[in-house]
Amino acid sequence: MAHTQCPIVMRILAAGIQVANRAGSIIRDVMSKGELGIVEKSKNDLQTEADRSSQQCIIASLTKQFPNIKIIGEEGQSDLCNIPSEWLVMEQDAEFLKNSCPNKYLTLTEEQFDSVVVWVDPLDGTTEYTQGFLEHVTVLIGISVNEEAVGGIIHQPYYKNGEDIGRTIWGLKGLGVGGFQPIDIRNDGQFVVTTTRSHFNESVKNAVDALKPTEILRVGGAGYKVLQLLEGKAHAYIFASPGCKKWDTCAPEAILEAHGGVLTDVMGNHYSYGEKAIHLNKLGVIATAKTVDHQNVINLIPANLKEAMTGK
C-alpha cells in the first residue's frame, strides 16, 4: 500500500519511528561535543541544547509531513526555519507499515485533524542526561485521538545491544507493541515499585510506602519507568505528585496500555490528551504492569493524600 493511502495514525507512528531515531542521534551528538547549554526553566526543571535540537528535528519533520495535525512539544514554539537539512526526516518506517491498522482508525482521515494531537517530549529525563545517567534518557512521541492516548513511540538513544546503539519501541491500542520483547512480571510475593530519582518528595514517599514494596527503584523519566513495567523489572510506577506533563505520559500510557497495563492519575482516572488539555498532570501518575491489579494499587494510596491532591 502506498504510504499516502495508509490511515493517518499508522503514518504518524511510522514517521515518528524514523524521526525519533534521528532525534536520538542528535542527543548523542550534543553529549559527545560536551557543550550541553543548560538552562534552568524553573526550579528543578532543566533544558539543554539536546532538548532544543531534538524538539526542532521532531516538530519540523512531523509538521512538514502532517501540516494539518496539531503537535505540542515540551519546549514550546521552535524556530523551524533555520534547521539543518539533515534534521528533516521525511521517511516512514516500512517495517511498521506492514502491520494492519486496527479497524477503529481505518476511517480516520487527515481532514479529521481536529481529533488527532501529537505530544512530543524531545528528551525525557533531562536531569539524568546532565548527570550522566544516560540509560534513563528517552525520546517520547505520543498520539491521541479524541483525547485518548492511543499510540506512541519510546526511543532510547543509549540502549546498547552489542555493537548497536539505540532502540525504538512502539505501541498502538488494538495492534500491540513492537521493537522489543515485553516480559510480564510475576506476582510471587515481591512488589517492586519504580519512582522518580530527581523529583522525590513527601507525597511520593507516602504513596510508595503505602504499597509496602519489597524493592524501590529510583530512576529518571516517565518513558524509562514505563519501560521497566514492560520489561518485567517493576510492578508499579508511582508518582503521587504534580510535575509530569501530558508529553511525559501520552506515549508511555498508550504503549503500556497497548500491552495490557494501565496508567492513570492517583484516583484511577485516565488523563485527557486533547488539544486544549492542561499540560500538567496535576493528580500524579500511577501505572501498573499487565499482571498487576491496577484498582488494588489505587485503593492502597492513602485517602488523605488523595484529598490533599484533589482538594476534596
**Is 51 among the catalytic positions?**
yes
Residue 239 beta carbon to ligand PPS: minimum distance, rounded to whole angstroms? 4
Q: Does 243 bind ligand PPS (CB under 6 A)?
A: yes
Q: Does 220 bind ligand PPS (CB under 6 A)?
A: yes
Q: Which of 288, 280, 16 is nearest to 143 (CA)?
A: 16
Provide the sign of the torsion angle of the four alpha carbons 124, 311, 262, 142, taken in this order. Answer: negative
Contacts with ligand PPS by CB under 6 A: the residue count is: 21
In the list 121, 148, 253, 257, the residue contacting Mg ion (rule: CB under 5 A) is: 121
In the list 49, 93, 148, 248, the residue contacting Mg ion (rule: CB under 5 A) is: 248
**Does 121 count as an annotated binding residue?**
yes
In the list 49, 148, 248, 265, the residue contacting ligand PPS (rule: CB under 6 A) is: 248
Q: Does 121 bind ligand PPS (CB under 6 A)?
A: yes
In the list 153, 207, 234, 244, the residue contacting ligand PPS (rule: CB under 6 A) is: 244
In the list 56, 57, 117, 124, the residue contacting Mg ion (rule: CB under 5 A) is: 124
Q: Give me the half-sphere count of Cα atoms (radius 13 Å) on the Cβ side of residue 189.
A: 0
Chosen from Mg ion, ligand PPS, none, partner binding at 253 (C-beta under 5 to 8 Å by type): none
Q: How far is CA 180 from the centre of its chain?
A: 16
Q: Does 125 bind ligand PPS (CB under 6 A)?
A: yes
d(CA 243, CA 199): 8
Backbone phi, psi, residue 186, to 5°: -90, 155
Residues whose CB is less than 8 angstroms from the CB of residue 109 and which lie 6 or more positions away in sequence, other chains included: 8
Q: Does 158 bind ligand PPS (CB under 6 A)?
A: no
Residue 309 beta carbon to Mg ion: minimum distance, rounded to whole angstroms? 20
- Cell 488523563, residue? 271
Residues of this chain that bind ligand PPS (CB under 6 A): 44-45, 74, 121, 123-126, 195-196, 198-199, 220-222, 225, 239, 243-244, 248, 285
Catalytic residues: 51, 126
Residues of this chain that bind Mg ion (CB under 5 A): 74, 121, 123-124, 126, 248
